[in-house]
Structure formats: C-alpha cells, structure tokens
Chain A
C-alpha cells in the first residue's frame, strides 16, 4: 500500500482485530452484513420505548427487550440500563471475536474507550421520579450518567488499564476510535477496545422532535425530498491492536487515518459549505498519507436532515475531484447517535473485508444543487480505502479511514 508522509501522527500501525455489533438490522456481524447486502432496512414503527412517539415515528429499534438482554447476561440489577446492556452485547462479541480471553483484559495496557450520548437517560421516567421525590433506595442514581456504561464494563471484566468515555454527540464513538488508536501509537496501550452504545430514550426522542429534525417516514439521505432523520439504537466495539500483538489472530483492516475538527458555525447545524466536514475529511486523508483519489467508498454521516446532507454533500464535492461511490447506512439502522461512529466503522470495515459496496436506500432524486447519487445496488467492487464520517451537535466533525491490508 502506497503511503506518503503522515502529518501529525505518532509511530506505529493500528489494526482492527475484533468486532462486536448490535443494531436494528442484526445482533451479529454476519447478521448486519446480510442486511446490508440485501438492502434490508431495520427501520420500523415498533420500538422498546415508553413514549407517545412509539408506534408513531419510525425508529431503528432493536427487537430484543431490555428483559431479554438482561436474561442473556444473567443480570438482575435494574441499575444496569438498556444502553449498558447493548454495550455489553457488542463488547463481549468484540473480545471473543479478537480471541481475547477475560484474563487478557486485566492487563494495565489494555484500555477501554467508550462513547454514549444517552447513557442511563433511557431511564427517563425513573430519572423524573428520582428528581421529584426523596430518592433514598433508588437503584438508578449512579446509572444516569454517560460514564456508567464504561464503568460497568470495566468492573465486570476487571479491566485495570485506562478507561474513559467520550461524549461529543453524534461523533462520539468515531472519536473513541481515534483516541484509542492514538493511545496505541503513543505507547500508552497495546490493546484498546473502542466503541459506543446508545439506546432509544424518551429524552432524546423529545429533544430531536423539539429541533424538528425527525422524519415521519423512513429517512432518505441525500434525496431531494428528505425530511429528517430516524433515531436508532445500537452498539459496536472494535478491538484495536498495534503491530506487536496484532499478528495473533484475524485482522480485519488497518485504521490508517483520522481527524477531528470543529465546524464552529452553530450549536445544532453545520455551515452550508460544510467547512467542518471538509476539514475533517481532508485532515483524515492527510493523516493517512492518501489523496482523495485513493478513497474507494465513503460511508457518509448522511442523516437525511436538510442541513447535514447538503453540507456534507458540498464538502465532498469540494474535496473530491471525482467523487467515489458513497452511501449512508442510516436507513438501515437509524441514527444511533453515540454508537453511530462505531457502527458505521464496522460497516466500512465489512466493505473492505468483502470487497463490496452496500446500497443506499430510499433514494429517488438527487439534491438539485448537488446532483449527488449514492450507490443504489449491491455490488462487488475493489475497495482499498474507506472513509467513514460522523458529524455531531456543536459542529464536532470526525472522519476515519480504514484500509485494506493488501
């Protein structure tokens, strides 16, 4: 693989050696891939959600109830929230996939970098009760915050290395991945399990509804008639390892580039020219020593809001002389917020692993000013480098690049 100068990086290569994922389209890696190949969306009107919007708005909901998730892991403690259970599901699959037994996780140089925006706020009704009455004896008090998710995993698996959580809204788990990679390259860890989780919550549904960016129908990224996003839930973790330890077992892909920037335009909208997205994508390419022409596919942020798709589309047109194939996978999973970066990183890696492109869904007409059309049908296609974008509230923009090993 041709690699030019890499600006702004410490030494060493970072590989993905294990994956765990659970989303609206599957609770296994194979299940998720199968849905992507066949263009089968997980968006629907059913949701494990106590809200007036359940059954009214479309969501990318996971079919398993919270009770079923608890039973699977033999967890009685009601303080372990749905978000944490989804994280546990993906985390346990990831470490098993990487061939890491539990003792391997105890070492001081095995780190955990989590991400979530909802945390335990999925317990919206319980939080309200706890804030309005004397809360002695509530089992939930230490479950509401974002940190509760990674702290549970750290404790359950007796992890002694660095553990932390990032919350930068919709780019959270993409940032967890770049932070984790840098821990390895700076010599602060040899193995990092990085990713994120978010569950559907009355709190976030109402927040996004107040912003008027939820679509009443299945979302239509980059379509002229798009009308907003669908919220989803899910979790994904990548096991990242450096060169010394990555040769043990399977290696899916290499994380070759990453960049985080700030659009700095508005608290909840991107600049129309997509400055933040442009800088993030450009920076990721530079960090990978690649040029735009090297990118074989872009997994866009593509939320199907009027603002995001126009801004991201403009940014892509500015950066790429010839735009590579691209699509958003949010019509499959919904917008999984804090988990999105990691879930979509997994989809990007699948694309590389199997040399294939997955179709965008619900697309009929391009945005007139942009004329962009996503991949519309599944096809096998040589893919060497995939770019995955995640842009969050507050203008937080992160772009990751995964590369084929050959």
Chain B
C-alpha cells in the first residue's frame, strides 16, 4: 500500500506537472533564534527592561513613612520588602531576581528612574559619581511593551513602556556594549489589560444572555470576538517587543541579549481566584504573546528564556525549590491598608514590608518570605524571587554566558 502510494505520488507529479514538493506548511512560532554568543561574557553591567517583576524600586517614594515622599521608606519593590539590611550584600532578603543575579556577578544595579506622579528623577544613583553607570534597571511596575498608559498610570505610576525604556538607555549611554548582560522581560501587563477587557465583554455577554436579550450563540460569538481582539493585541505587542529588540538593542551593539517569554498567570493566586472556564483565556494570552515573540525573534542572535515552561515546572514542583505555599499571598491586605491609612486596599506588595518586628510589617502572621512563593496576587516574595533568580541564572549558564 505504501509502495502504491509512493508510486502514485510520483507518477501524479510527473503526469500532472504539479508542484508536489514543499512538504509541510510553515507554522509561525515554530522557529528559534540563532547566532547568540556561546562564550562567557565579561559583564560589567546588567541592563534590564521590563515591568514590576524587574522593578528595583521605581516607586519607592510612594512608600514614604512620613507620606511626603521623603525617606525612610517601607516598600518600593513588588515583593516582600526589607528595609533593615540597607546596603547591597549577599543577603537575598527583600531583593528581586535581578538584584540576586547582579550580586552573584558582583555588579551593582540601580533604578533608571525613581518617582511617582509628576515628580521623578532619572538615574538618582548618579548623585554618587561611582554609581553613575549603575542605573540600568529600567523595569517599572505597570509598564507595557509600547503603550505608555500602563497599569496604575491613572493613579501616578510612571509606567514608562519598554520601547521608551530602551530609548532612554540609548539617550543616556549612546549604545549597548558587549559587556552588557541585557535582559528583556515584558508583556505581562499587556496580558492583564487585555484580559480585563475580555472579562468585561464576557460579563456583559453573560448578563445579556441571562436576561434573554441575546441567544447563547450570540453570547458565544461575543466572547469569541473578544478573545480574538485580545489575541490580536497580544500579537501586536509581541511583534513590537521583538522589533524593539532587533532594531534598538541588537542594532545598537547589544550582544548578550536574553528575552523572556511570559509565564502562565493562571499559576498565581490571581489565576486561582478566576472561574475555571476563563482561565484558559488568560493562559492563551501569554501563549499568543510567546508564539509571536518567538516568531519575531526567529533567526535573531538572542536567547529566549521560556518562563512559561520554567515557571510551570516550578509551580508544579514547589518542594524542589524549598517552597511550601504557592497559593496564599504572604502580604496581608488588612495590615497594608492600616499601614497606608486605607489608601492601599488590594494588598499590593509594593507596600508590603517584611522586616521582622517593624511596626509597618505587612506580612500575614504565619507567612514566611522564604518558603511562601507569592507576596501578593502574583508578585513573588523575596523567596519566590530567589527561585526566579536561580532559574534564570541556570538558563544563562546553559547559554555559556556565565
């Protein structure tokens, strides 16, 4: 039979002069980057672009104990903050993954911009001349890939988008260096914005269907259209990010460039709080972004760190990383509300302090920042960030860069 088919195939090609070759069709996102360095880097800087997960303290002034933007501060990073340790050192407490990797390489990294609302300062570390080149952590909570109106922008968050973060780096430093370890990790806020829009349409459609104003099929079509719209926005954001990496980072001297995919936000307390039937939509937004990010970076000399697969594995096997609780946020919304005079009610880890004995400690009574993964509904504790840092570090080592 196989023989007959094979004969039939070739004879038909000959007889019909048809273009039988070609084989399988190209499926976007099935390629890979290629040509990234494979040798150890001599890194003197870590240049990081992204959002709250890479934010080393942009909004610290918003956590002023006096409430007027002046120190001392009780928060500032999207994790379980610790303010008692002061100087950068080997102690991972209160630090995010980026700081952990920097510390392991003996590199100091400081925020590219610090402030809130109308007042912000670019490269505040430059006040100390020796630190003038350390302000290469551009990640800002709420930041999106291209849209300057990120999450929290309406209440004063800077949310400088990644495209502008990169432009700011070029404006300050002129170009990228081969001694820069460049880490690009953005898109989660685009997922959240698009998911929010989808959820609103979904709620409306369900309400209309329940009220008998539209049929079940019409409601399904409305949901489908909303999902398609969200997918289109995620595709656009991913291709924009890939384009930024290629035309702004690689074309301006970037050599050691790692780009993170997006993880599955379903694997967080936020995701767990959603109805089961909409979780796949949330997962899909990250996956669509990842597909087109990969497509946009196919053949480009970068490395991709696939947080989707890595975090899923870590979430499914918390014990391997010393995590005992990955469902309950370590920060207590009630305590944070009390500490902030009722201004922060959502338990945002930006305002969560974990310093033992401090009056502004916002942890739940039984929480442990080293063994609980999440600080709030999706940001990691300092222990969770240590896991991220270790996972990323292992990836960078596997590339041969460290």
Pair from one complex: no
Q: Which residues of A does B touch, CB under 8 Å?
A: none
Q: Which residues of B does A touch, CB under 8 Å?
A: none
